[in-house]
Structure 1
Amino acid sequence: MLMDMKVTDFLAELGSSSPAPGGGSISALAGALGGALAAMVCRLTVGNDKYAEVQSEVAAIRDQADQIVKELAGCVDADTEAFNQVMAAYKLPKATESDKAERSKAIQQAMRHATELPLGVATSCLKILSMAVRALAIGNSNAASDAAVAGLMAHAGLHGALYNVKINLSSIKDQDIQKDIQAKVAALVKEDEGLHKQLLEIAGKVIG
């Protein structure tokens, strides 16, 4: 399990010639790191009398962030597993027409999973970005830079995940599935643009 490795060992594995873990796993990790940072900012806000008016909202953000961090952490390994499934499908026999049909079906199933998984990661990263923006706006000002970094990590994780969606989407033959996912990608990008702009604007005011 990648998430059970020491950071130094993880980095060594990442930098090796093995194609997995790769960008998909790192995108999920970036989102998880952003979520954990956002949760930290919330914990530095909850219980502080200076922020009494936002205690309930910040506590809710903390709890939601904690849950999404767990989900994204699971996706770090799941993305690598999805890649391995695609590779396994391509290695299936193709000696007969029946073999070819089964292989093609397996490849399509594996590619769809490898596309939908990072799409879910991107969706989760967007939620983290939204929470980071709010934490930056109302949270402990002493941790403002942490909230800003949380948002940037989520922003990076989202776009990294979408690159993986796009590169895998081209291998899916079902046009209806392609169009549906493309529409979801466009919606995520549009919402991310607005939140990222807010993050930078608030950070500029609060941090300088």
Structure 2
Amino acid sequence: MLLSEYRIKEFVNELASKSPAPGGGSASALVGAIGTALVSMVSNLSCGKEKFKDKEGLLVEILEEARRIKESLINLIDKDAEAFNRVARAAKMPRTTEEEKKLKSEAMEQALKEATLVPLSVMEESFKALKLHEKALGNTTTAAISDIGVGIQCLKTALYGGWLNVKINLNSIKDEEFIKDVEKKASSILERGIRLADGLFKKVEEELEKK
């Protein structure tokens, strides 16, 4: 059974168990999916309302993109656990002979690279979802402004969570070019994403002060 098919209580209990997967990577993907779902909710609450008639096209656009991102992040919950399991399998490979050592090293390097690219994808998708919150803010019902705020914070957490999982895997990879490329991409997404999230959250707080 896929992790993404677990009931909420089952997933949380599995996360709390001594099993190393699911872990922080899957949790980050889930939090990102929740943050994306919230921008969908706010857009759905506004869609079809007379007050937002002139925003209908934008809202439909947000909903379509949010659906794609949400499904991608849900898929990444399972991909992260699968990637960890590949690393675990590589770690158990025999290394008695020189040939076995070589095969194990190659398998571990490949597994670690795959395990690094999954949280990088979580970061990429979460940043895209933050851009949807940016579009929704000011173009959706203010009655749900707090939900936008929660969505933003969920996505900020997903960004940080993805970053931490990228970093821990890069620490064990030998390919310097791969490390340099991924670290550059991830740090750029993190910097831009946190700046965007903090700016948007400030606007949410300012809007709440008016009420």
TM-score range, shorter chain: over 0.9
Q: How far apart are 1:204 and its partner, in Å?
A: 1.6
CA–CA distance in 2 between the matches of 1:187 and 1:86? 26
| Structure 2 residue aligned with 1:47 | 48
Give the 5 Å matches for 1:1-208.
1-208=2-209
SS of residue matched to 1:93: coil
Counterpart residue type for residue 82 of structure 2: E
Query: CA deviation digits over 1:145-193, x for unaligned, max 9?
Result: 1111111111111110110000001111111111111111221122113
4+ long deviations beyond 2 Å: none
Unmatched segments (≥5 aa) in structure 1: none
Q: How far apart are 1:47 and its partner, in Å?
A: 0.7
TM-score normalised over the length of structure 2: 0.95
CA–CA distance in 2 between the matches of 1:23 and 1:194? 23
CA–CA distance in 2 between the matches of 1:54 and 1:197? 25
CA–CA distance in 1 between the matches of 2:5 and 2:59? 30
CA–CA distance in 2 between the matches of 1:123 and 1:56? 25
TM-score normalised over the length of structure 1: 0.97
SS of residue matched to 2:146: helix
Kept in 2, the 8 Å contact 1:133–1:198? The answer is no
CA–CA distance in 2 between the matches of 1:197 and 1:152? 9
Greater CA drift, 54-63 or 19-28: 54-63
CA–CA distance in 2 between the matches of 1:197 and 1:68? 21
Greater CA drift, 132-141 or 94-103: 132-141
CA–CA distance in 1 between the matches of 2:8 and 2:73? 17
Greater CA drift, 82-91 or 6-15: 6-15
Kept in 2, the 8 Å contact 1:111–1:168? The answer is yes
SS of residue matched to 2:46: coil
Counterpart residue type for residue 185 of structure 1: A
SS of residue matched to 2:72: helix
CA RMSD of aligned residues (A): 1.0
Percent identity, please.
37
